Structure 1
Amino acid sequence: MKLASYADGSRDGHLVVVSRDLTQAHYATGIATRLQQVLDDWGFLAPQLEDLAVQLNHGKLRHAFPFDPDKCLAPLPRASGWAVVGADGAVRRDAGQFAAAHQPLRAPAHGEVALAAVTGDLGAASDTAAALDALRLLTLVVDWRLDDELIATQAAPLAVTPDELGSAWRNGRVQACLHLLHNGSKQPVRDIDAHPGAALARVARLRALRAGQVVGAALGSLEQALAAGDSLLLDLKTAEGSSLFGAIDLDIAPPDLTP
């Protein structure tokens, strides 16, 4: 299933289920209003959301509405924590505040992309197999840094269960293609091969993780030289061209021309 959090004036947004083709959505009211509620009681609530997703995909919900990614917050705006595992195995931890996919950057910054895994409760010293069992949802995240200081962490609009990834999910790995547009110009497509279970197990090596922790497997840095007024779009897609998590589509704040 595909889940998103629609902006409603609250800090966490309102949980919606999104159709497989990303055209329709339906509020999860009556099951849960926030994604963290679902993560806290996954065994009971997730099957109900899956039933709702099946009905949505078959066009059987009377109150479905067109999905608009511009109305989305990050799927989990306030996570239990955010940690990124680099290619060298080093772990970097941050607070876990996620900005919406369309939120403008305040200034040109350096982007570091990660495949993000949202976990259920996971015990300390868990192995990769146990980590995969605790894996609940996946999404795409970019850390934005300016002079080595984290200024924003931005998430794609959708968080999805691994089974929803189709051919991009193989033996516990995500194999997909990262597409980029810089100021509307296509950039070289980057092949992605990430192991979210290994990243979860690495972070849980010394301490337990609780439901709602988000762990990223680093996918590398963005090489585009960004300037004020630029636009950037990132979209992780299957080999067939289907978007997995919706696009991160943002503008960099234009120069301040105030005298």
Structure 2
Amino acid sequence: MKLGSLKEGGRDGTLIVVSRNLQRAVRADAIAPTLQRALEDWSNVAPRLNALSQALNEDRAEGAFDLDDAVLAAPLPRAYEFVDGSAYLPHVERVRRSRGAEVPESFYTDPLMYQATSAGFYGPRDPILASSDEWGIDLEAEVVIVTDDVPMGVGAATAAEHIQLVGLVNDVSLRNLIPGELAKGFGFVQSKPRSALSPVFVTPDELGDAWHDAKLHLPMRTWINGAWFGAAECGVDMQFSFAELVAHVAKSRPLSAGTIVGSGTIANEDTSKGASCLAEQRTVETLRDGKASTPFLKFGDTVRIEITDAAGSSLFGAIEQTVTCQPPRG
């Protein structure tokens, strides 16, 4: 099934079930008012949502309406946790090599992750807001999963059973702010603004054979200003599966239902497939030509992120955003 949230009913939106073709939807607030509440009682709520999804797809759901992406909030407008990884080895190796640094030996056996911004997510059509386009505004096209309650200390096999939803995120980075923050040795704050989520999250069974080994095996398609930018394969060169990422986070603490875990920027060893972030493209250019030629995003630029199935149908809907100036406030 496919689930989304309307921009109504407060900060956490109103839960809706969305048709497989993303054309129709029906409110599900009689079952659970929000997606967060549904995840907190998933074993009881999911069968009822599945029944509503079946009715919607068979055109027999009462109250169904045509879906307009403009009215959609993020499926989870805010989450208790968003923990982002960097699971693609080619991306880590290139970025490190471009600045003359080695990949730590531990990376090959221990995931690289950080605690990301989760207090609010942009909807799929909301703008990317920044006060200056000199900050090095960058898209990062990633896959995310959402868990139910995960107990502390789970292994990867058990962690896989707690993955309930899959979606996309544009994990925006402000590249020119990152070096100064990392130099302090304490992580990201200003350089990681709010991210945008795909129109819907879907249950893994909805993905068929494209979901196995706790990885999504489809290309991540990205466009900038309408021009093709990349179609990196999500299931290729992913050093750690989502089950391993969840287990890594839960090593020393339980995870609350609604925790979002990100894959990190999709990247392949084969650079002909393009990139999923500008930093990756600029790194390839630097290693090849001695300098980067692709600029970061400027005000007015647009980005589009989408994954389609083998038949060309959109699975999660598209994230489409315009970079917009929000002047500093007093």
Q: Which TM-score tier does this pair reach, normalised by the shorter chain?
A: over 0.9
Q: Which amino acid aligns with 2:144?
A: A
Contact 1:20 1:57 in 2 (8 A): yes
Partners in 1 of 2:211 and 2:22 — Cα distance? 19
Runs of 4+ in 1 over 6 A off after TM superposition: none
Deviations 1:99-147 (A, max 9, x none): 1111111234122232111111111121111111111111111221222
Flag the structure with higher strand content.
Answer: 1
Partners in 2 of 1:44 and 1:255 — Cα distance? 43
Relative to structure 1, the CA distance from residue 215 to residue 56 in structure 2 (aligned partners, 3 Å threshold; closer, same or farther) is same
Aligned with residue 322 of structure 2, among 248, 251, 259: 251
The reply to whether residue 93 of structure 1 matches residue 115 of structure 2 is: yes
Q: Which amino acid aligns with 1:18?
A: V
Bigger-Rg structure (1/2): 2
- The equivalent of 1:59 in structure 2 is 59
RMSD: 1.8
TM-score, normalisation: structure 1:
0.93
- The equivalent of 1:191 in structure 2 is 233
- The equivalent of 1:232 in structure 2 is 303
Partners in 2 of 1:130 and 1:34 — Cα distance? 26
SS in 2 for 1:219: coil
Contact 2:4 2:201 in 1 (8 A): yes
SS in 2 for 1:138: strand
Contact 1:233 1:249 in 2 (8 A): yes
Aligned with residue 140 of structure 2, among 86, 108, 112: 112
SS in 2 for 1:55: helix
Q: Which amino acid aligns with 1:252?
A: V
**Any unmatched runs of 5+ in structure 1?**
none
Partners in 2 of 1:219 and 1:140 — Cα distance? 11
Aligned with residue 201 of structure 1, among 234, 247, 254: 247
- The equivalent of 2:210 in structure 1 is 168
Partners in 2 of 1:136 and 1:228 — Cα distance? 36
Relative to structure 1, the CA distance from residue 124 to residue 27 in structure 2 (aligned partners, 3 Å threshold; closer, same or farther) is same
In the TM superposition, residue 59 of structure 1 has moved relative to its aligned partner by 0.7
Identity %: 34
1:19-98 matches, cutoff 5 A: 19-87=19-87, 88=107, 89-96=111-118, 97-98=120-121
Q: Which amino acid aligns with 2:210?
A: A
In the TM superposition, residue 95 of structure 1 has moved relative to its aligned partner by 3.9
Relative to structure 1, the CA distance from residue 255 to residue 212 in structure 2 (aligned partners, 3 Å threshold; closer, same or farther) is closer
Flag the structure with higher helix content.
Answer: 2
In the TM superposition, residue 254 of structure 1 has moved relative to its aligned partner by 6.0
SS in 2 for 1:114: strand
In the TM superposition, residue 255 of structure 1 has moved relative to its aligned partner by 9.7
The reply to whether residue 180 of structure 1 matches residue 226 of structure 2 is: no
**Any unmatched runs of 5+ in structure 2?**
88-106, 179-190, 267-275, 279-293
In the TM superposition, residue 163 of structure 1 has moved relative to its aligned partner by 0.3
What is the number of residues matched between the two proteins?
256
Aligned with residue 277 of structure 2, among 210, 213, 222: 222
- The equivalent of 2:283 in structure 1 is none
Partners in 2 of 1:133 and 1:101 — Cα distance? 28
Partners in 2 of 1:150 and 1:172 — Cα distance? 26
Deviations 1:164-222 (A, max 9, x none): 11232123321111112211122232211153212111111221111111111113451
